[in-house]
Structure formats: C-alpha cells, structure tokens
Amino acid sequence: MDSIVVTGNGPLSGQIPIAGAKNACLTLMPATLLTEEPLTLLNAPRLSDIRTMTTLLQSLGAEVSALNDGKVLAMSSHALDNHRADYDIVRKMRASILVLGPMLARDGYAEVSLPGGCAIGARPVDLHLRALEALGAQLDLREGYVYAKAPAGGLRGGTVHFPLVSVGATENALMAATLAKGTTVIENAAREPEIVDLARCLRAMGAQIEGEGTSTITIDGVDRLGGATHKVVTDRIELGTYMLAPAICGGEVECLGGSIALVQSFCERLDAAGVAVEETDTGLRVSRRSNRIQAVDVTTEPFPGFPTDLQAQMMALLCTAEGTSVLEEKIFENRFMHAPELMRMGARIDVSGGTAHVHGVENLKGAPVMATDLRASVSLILAGLAAEGETVVNRVYHLDRGYERVVEKLAAVGAKIERVATA
C-alpha cells in the first residue's frame, strides 16, 4: 500500500492542468448503454473510478477502449449480452447505480447490485428508484440487488419530483427519460455542471431536453438515440483543490482549463479569506493577497452553493487562518473524519454534529496521518504543503479514485512531494 510524503517547501509557482470531471465522466459513460452507435468521450480523466466503470460496462457486453493515454474513451454497446451489474464490481463505486436507468430504458430490464463507495455517510438509492417508478418501472429489492422491469411498450413519461436534491438520481432519471414514451418533467432537479454536461451529450445523441442547469428539466422521449463525440467538462473539484495549493502555502499558480463559472461560490469564500482569483485566457490564476489567510464561515449546499467535495480541502486552508472559522456540512452527515487527522498536525478543531469550529494556528507540524476518504486524502496533502517538516499520508488508494497524477502536478509547481511504496 502506497503513502504520499509531503515536506513543507515554501511558495508554489507555475501551471497545473485540470483534468476532465470525474463525476461527469462517470455519468457520461453509462449513456453508451442507451444506443447501439459509438459514443466517444474526449478529455476523460485517468482514474481508478473510470477503470471500474469501464470494467462494469464491459461486463454488460459494451466495448470500451482507452485511447490517447486514456484521455479518450471510445465506447460501443451494439452487442449487450448481460443485464446484471454484479456486486463484485458495483461495491467499489456508488456511481455504478447509473447503469440502471439506461439499461431499463433501452432493453426494459436490469439487475443492479446496491452500490458502495466512500464511507462519508448515508447516500441511499431510494430517490433513484422512486424516479424510475414514476416512469412506470416495476422494482423488486432482494438479496442486495435491484431487479427492475419496464412495462410492456417500455418506460413512459411522467413527473419525477425529488423531495431533496440528488445529483445521481437526477442523472439516472434524465437518461431513462430520453427513451421513455411521452414527456417527463423532473422537478427539484440537481443543477450541477455535470448535469448540464450530461444533457449536452444526450442532446448530441438526439435526445430532446430543456431546462438543464435549472431545477426543472423537461425531456420529450425519442424512439432511439445515436452516437456522438463529446468533450467532458473540466473537473470543478480538482480545480478547486489545486486553487487551494497557493492559497495554503503562498506563491502563484495558474489552473489551466478552469473558469470562475464552475466554482463561483467557492471563489466568493476564497475572496473573503484573502485569496485573489483572476480569470486568464487559459484558466484561473490564484495567489494570496497577504501573508496570512483570514477566517471565513462555510456552509455546504447543492450547486450553486459551496460544494461538499471541497469542504475538507477548505478546512485544511482555514487551519492556519487568522481567527475562528465555522464549517457547516449540510450534505453528508459523516464528512469530518479528516478533522482528527488535521489535529495530529497541530490544528485546533472542535466538531459537534454537522458543524466544525476551526481555530486558526500559526503553523501546522508534519506528522503521519491516515486518509479516510477521497477528499480527506487530498486535504491532508494540502495541509502538508504548509506544514513544518514531513507529513506522511497513508491509505492513499482513495486518492486514485478522484485525482490523476497528483504528485506530478504538485511537484511541477515546486512542491516537495513523492509517492512511496510501504509494506
């Protein structure tokens, strides 16, 4: 099992290329199940989660080829021969549930294991199932699997109302509705850029969709979808993560491919903390305005609010801020597991339920720490950039699920960081 060793090394300088969005690509890949024609994705991130989704699609009979060093995914589902997504694959990644809607819409039947993923709190699939039931699906849950069957003649349009916003359930409903008979209206839909990106890809395949990016999406079902070539949107979470690197340890870094529109609420909090963000012709240039960051309060919310996937990284920044910051986590109830690890580095953090009070200290100290989930992994690396001495981040296999070549990217802008194999 590998570890990442980080040694505080002063300010950073240079450019970091931002990859395509993991969460967008994991949604776009199952869209191949909706058509017999080829679907090609450009700007794909090179991550273990993408490899897991590749394995899952191949197990269903889809052809998936990684080209151009993995940045291009060429897919075809012209010969699906299996409609069962097995537990051994699905347990590794929650996004696996996204094959359910497309298979059900295209062929009228699917068996999908209940999924796994990071242990950051309950993320039930009941909203996914409720959405498919609104389109006429008959569902049966037994022995850890969802058995789904469409009515005779296929899924039919309907009104899908989510009692609370769910990105994954919106994506599953959106894909299923493209081939449903009639019109589907999704109410209280998620508004994330990944939803917009999926709708754009589906529209290129021939789907009739309006309203993506708002809370109401309308889909007029079509008889069939065709192939398309689509460029995956920039990963706003990777973007925000690397924007925090110069904010934490000083210097100036340009994040290539970034735009403020992807991280507007995050940029507002950075501005309040004393971090300058400037849009350039090729991305976003980030630097600290003064020697020390100012404390700010943060509340995670669905898009366009502050992303829960940037909360851990923001906490790392605020550990050395002047004053006390209050972080309120409203998306997942178990997402402060990185706090005790940051405290091992000298941070002063009080956690009570879904609220964390971060009392800024002058300096963090390097220490051995353990990653508990994907975003916690990179938050500890960021903290290590600003800490005195050496920080060893253990259990970094989480990191490979969401960040490609993090060591190389940070080393290229001056960070002292390496990945080492441990016994």
Residues 215 and 271 in one domain: no
Q: In this model, does residue 418 exceed pLDDT 50?
A: yes
Q: At which of 187, 202, 231 does a domain end?
A: 231
Say whether 331 counts as a known binding-site residue.
Answer: yes
Domain of residue 378, CATH code:
3.65.10.10
Say whether 125 counts as a known binding-site residue.
Answer: yes
Average pLDDT on 71-86 reads 96
pTM: 0.93
Which residues share a beta bridge with 391? 6
**pLDDT tier, 6 (very low <50, low <70, confident <90, very high otherwise):** very high
- Of 234, 318, 323, residue with least CA distance to 283: 234
Q: At which of 171, 199, 231 does a domain end?
A: 231
Radius of gyration of the chain (CA): 22
**pLDDT tier, 124 (very low <50, low <70, confident <90, very high otherwise):** low
307 token code pair? 């992303």
| Residue range(s) defining the domain that contains residue 49 | 22-231
Q: In this model, does residue 109 exceed pLDDT 50?
A: yes
The C-alpha angle 238, 369, 358, rounded to 5 degrees, equals: 70
Residues 87 and 225 in one domain: yes
- Report d(CA 90, CA 192) in Å as an integer: 24
Determine the 3-state secondary structure of 112 from DSSP.
Answer: strand
Place of tokens 């537990």: 87
What is residue 309's predicted lDDT score, i.e. its pLDDT?
93
Residues 209 and 273 in one domain: no
How many domains would you assign to the chain? 2
The alpha helices in 161-235, defined as continuous H runs, are: 167-177, 193-204
Contact 361, 346 (CB under 8 A): yes
Contact 181, 154 (CB under 8 A): yes
Contact 128, 102 (CB under 8 A): no
- Of 207, 208, 158, residue with least CA distance to 187: 158
The C-alpha angle 79, 83, 87, rounded to 5 degrees, equals: 130
Q: At which of 206, 231, 256 does a domain end?
A: 231
Residues 63 and 177 in one domain: yes
What is residue 341's predicted lDDT score, i.e. its pLDDT?
96
> Catalytic positions, please?
118
Residues 239 and 335 in one domain: yes
Q: Which pairing describes strands 368-370 and 390-394: parallel, antiparallel, or unpaired?
A: parallel
Determine the 3-state secondary structure of 319 from DSSP.
Answer: coil
Q: Is the dihedral of CA 373, 416, 275, 286 positive or negative?
A: negative
Question: What is the secondary structure of 220-277 as a DSSP string?
Answer: E--S----EEEEPPB-HHHHHHHHHHHHHH-EEEEEET--GGGGHHHHHHHHHHTEEE
- Report d(CA 223, CA 219) in Å as an integer: 13
Residues 41 and 127 in one domain: yes
**154-188 pLDDT, tens digit each:** 999 999 999 999 999 999 999 999 999 999 999 99
Residues 70 and 102 in one domain: yes
Say whether 124 counts as a known binding-site residue.
Answer: yes
Q: Considering the chain, what is the average pLDDT of its residues?
A: 94
Say whether 22 counts as a known binding-site residue.
Answer: yes
Say whether 123 counts as a known binding-site residue.
Answer: yes
Residues 337 and 242 in one domain: yes
Residues 35 and 118 in one domain: yes
Give 116's contacts (C-beta < 8 A, 6+ positions apart).
90, 91, 92, 93, 94
Residues 74 and 131 in one domain: yes
Residues 390 and 247 in one domain: yes
Q: In this model, does residue 122 exceed pLDDT 50?
A: no
Contact 31, 202 (CB under 8 A): yes
Residues 248 and 166 in one domain: no
Provide, rounded to the nearest whole percent, the portion of the chain with pLDDT above 90.
Answer: 89
Give 65's contacts (C-beta < 8 A, 6+ positions apart).
73, 74, 75
Q: In this model, does residue 423 exceed pLDDT 80?
A: no
**358-412 pLDDT, tens digit each:** 999 999 999 999 998 888 899 999 999 999 999 999 999 889 888 999 999 999 9
What is residue 120's predicted lDDT score, i.e. its pLDDT?
33
Say whether 285 counts as a known binding-site residue.
Answer: no
